[in-house]
Structure 1
Amino acid sequence: MTAFPRTRNAALVGAVCSGLAAALVGCGGGEDPDAGTNGVGKLSAAKIESRARKAVDGAEAVRLSGSVVTKGRTYKLDMRLKKGGGIGHLSSKGSRFELLRVGNELYLKADADFWARQEGGSSTSDSAAASKLDDKFVKVPSSDPAYKQLSGFTDMDLLLDGLLGLHGKRATGDRGSVGGTRTIRITGGEGSGGSLDVSLEGTPYPLRLQRAGGAGVLELADWNEDFALKAPDKGHIVDYGRRITTGN
């Protein structure tokens, strides 16, 4: 059998590699990490962030779950939000309650223990008053200082705009997955400025946020999935008539 010269073998190998370059990475047979994706993994970190922001701006609904640290207080939340309102649960410093906002109307629902702490819980009358509020929706007056603080957790645009910012020089991080969806991570300040995991499938929505300075971790899911949002029945609404706080 006649052997091909070494130079001819090299030329043939090079031709094969060139022909497969569109589908393979090198000649090792490794799969293209961007095959079947939305292509944002090929972009710079700044452009990925821009695409994610654009996707958020065009979204109609989202679910946020995880923790947020603000003004030294940690809140755990699980909220479904859309244009015009939101519903979900929030907890902080041992207090857990449900929030519901429909338009400008904000309602809070909690158990008797929560309301007993509002009353002071120092007398039988306090306990009796708290029991009447147990598992009922209380309308939070717009003049109550708690209104602005709590309604912010039900405002999709305000909440996302305040949470999604990274700080420092942007860089592309590792590929991974969130909830079974492939993602690409972008970081700010080498990670100290937060990180954002952006979907590589379909619309490049942000799917996980790690806030700068350890200020919480949130997962963002159910993008554009609508849900029912309506005011409580009148029989389930009671008037509290006092200022509401959210901690002990």
Structure 2
Amino acid sequence: MTALPPASRPRRAALLSAALCAGLTLALTACGEEPPDPDAGTNGVGRLTAQEIETKARTAADAARAVRLSGTLVSKGGTYKLNMRLKGDGAQGSVVTKNSTFELLRVADALYLKADADFWTHAEPDAKPGSRPGSDSGGGDGDSEAAGKLDDKYVKVPRDDPSYKQLRGFTEMRALLRGLLEVHGEAGKGDRDRIGGVRTIKVLGGPKGEGGTLDVSLEGTPYPLQYARGGAAGVVTLSEWNADFALRAPSPAETVDYGRELPRTSE
């Protein structure tokens, strides 16, 4: 029997390389038969349709007792920066517009506004604490004195004041959430993301989110965690779901009677 000549060194190296590559390919194929599940360890809503995810988020929000809403809203030509803690029977927090900054406190139907002296000086130059609509409030140094008395005090907003409805709108948990949890246009699923360190799935209104983008939690209860309004009309973050907080009406020592219609809060 004639012995075969030994393979040349280059040929042996090529055969060894091919064998290693084949083995590596088989190992990788075996390990990668199923790609990693992006929903592993989540609440599973990422596997649902966009419409189902939106419904889950809305249901979770409707059942919640409290939430913090912070961010920016653009409405009717005005830009409002909100930082509000909200629950069914009231709210507290701050509102910033282009021209003013003030705090709001609502306990049931009683609504209070608190701002610094600069707010009152520029809002209504002729208004004095305790004066009635139409009264002669003077002017000049008297205005500064009046604003000083209002500085950092709560003013109770009368329910028949034109500003009551607008200001109360910033404190209504259910109304705000209803307006923020609806994407417009055909809903579609977007990318996964993280909001405040929590994994989320995006629901898009329209192909590129032009009708709004809602981030829904993939961890625990599928609460909405962020909403970007369409048309660059603001982004708000929703956090501290169900974290209760105390609401207390201010004492008489903390309040002052404004005595006339409150200033408007739009830009």
Shorter-chain TM-score bucket reads 0.7 to 0.9
Q: In structure 1, how many angstroms separate the alpha carbons of the residues matched to 2:174 and 2:228? A: 19
Q: In structure 2, how many angstroms separate the alpha carbons of the residues matched to 1:73 and 1:231? A: 29
Name the SS for the 2:170 alignment partner: helix
Q: Does the alignment pair 1:208 with 2:226?
A: yes
Aligned letter for 2:69? Answer: L
Name the SS for the 2:91 alignment partner: strand
Match 2:59 to one of 29, 49, 54: 54
Q: In structure 2, how many angstroms separate the alpha carbons of the residues matched to 1:199 and 1:90? A: 26
Over 3 Å counting, the alpha-carbon distance change for 1:119 and 1:181 in structure 2 is: same
Provide the aligned length of Structure 1 versus Structure 2.
228
Match 1:187 to one of 204, 211, 224: 204
Write the mapping of 1:28-177 to structure 2, written as runs, cut at 5 A.
30-120=35-125, 123-177=140-194
Q: Does the alignment pair 1:197 with 2:202?
A: no
Q: 2:10 — aligned with what?
A: none
Q: 2:265 — aligned with what?
A: 246
Specify which structure has the higher proportion of strand: 1
Residue deviations 1:136-184 (CA, integer Å, cap 9, x gap): 0000001111100010110100111122211001000000100000000
Q: In structure 1, how many angstroms separate the alpha carbons of the residues matched to 2:43 and 2:154? A: 43
Query: Identity of paired residues, percent?
Result: 59
Aligned letter for 1:78? Answer: N
Q: 1:23 — aligned with what?
A: none
Name the SS for the 1:154 alignment partner: coil
Q: In structure 1, how many angstroms separate the alpha carbons of the residues matched to 2:99 and 2:119? A: 9
Instruction: Let me know the Cα RMSD of the aligned residues.
Output: 1.8
Give 1:247 deviation, angstroms. Answer: 4.3
Name the SS for the 1:51 alignment partner: helix
* Contact 1:81/1:155, CA 8 A, preserved across alignment: yes
Name the SS for the 1:53 alignment partner: helix
Q: In structure 2, how many angstroms separate the alpha carbons of the residues matched to 1:77 and 1:243? A: 23
Taking structure 1 as the reference length, the TM-score comes to: 0.88
Name the SS for the 1:108 alignment partner: strand
* Contact 2:78/2:266, CA 8 A, preserved across alignment: no
Structure 1 stretches of at least 4 aligned residues deviating more than 2 Å after TM superposition: 118-122
Q: In structure 2, how many angstroms separate the alpha carbons of the residues matched to 1:247 and 1:70? A: 9
Aligned letter for 2:234? Answer: G
Taking structure 2 as the reference length, the TM-score comes to: 0.82
In structure 1, runs of 5+ residues without a counterpart are 1-8, 21-25
Write the mapping of 1:212-231 to structure 2, written as runs, cut at 5 A.
212-231=230-249
Residue deviations 1:41-72 (CA, integer Å, cap 9, x gap): 00000000000000011000000000011111
In structure 2, runs of 5+ residues without a counterpart are 1-21, 127-138
